[in-house]
Amino acid sequence: GALPVTPSVEASGVCVACYAPLSPRTQVVLHLVDGSKRRACCPHCGLMALNRSPDSVTAILVTDFLRGRVVNGRTAAYLAAPAVSICCTPTVLAFESADDAQRFQTGFGGQLLNLDEALTFLQAEMHL
């Protein structure tokens, strides 16, 4: 007979930063130099984890908020502090393209940022 599919241990769990359950719609995955992965519930937490140890991160994968696709976090566009709150504050959303982020910004406000600007924004907001 058939057996139900269960998620792998690596795909389940909680956020590395705030310990909230992981959400496939907003998840961030940091790939580290030692081959391990750190998962965050949202771009806010993923970028906070990146701020803590930027030299140990080899790749950043973020989930596009509109389409749910996993994209390169270094080239993604980020919308900081929109009028939509998804979990952690200040909310940061990731988008595959700046055009999509700008369209979302038209309806919900926020600051359109690249990766470096998003890291700086969070450092200032969280007083790091």
Examine the pLDDT at 3 and tell me if it is beyond 60.
no
| Closest of 34, 35, 57 to residue 46, by C-alpha | 57
Class of residue 5 by CB neighbours under 10 A (exposed 0-12, middle 13-18, buried 19+): exposed
Work out the pLDDT band at 12, boundaries 50, 70, 90: low
Q: pTM of this prediction? A: 0.88
Q: Which pLDDT value is given to residue 127?
A: 81
Output the pLDDT for position 10: 44
**Residues in the chain, how many?**
128
pLDDT in tens, 84-122: 999 899 999 999 999 999 999 999 999 999 999 999 999
Q: Could you give the CA distance from residue 81 to residue 22 in angstroms, rounded to a whole number?
A: 20
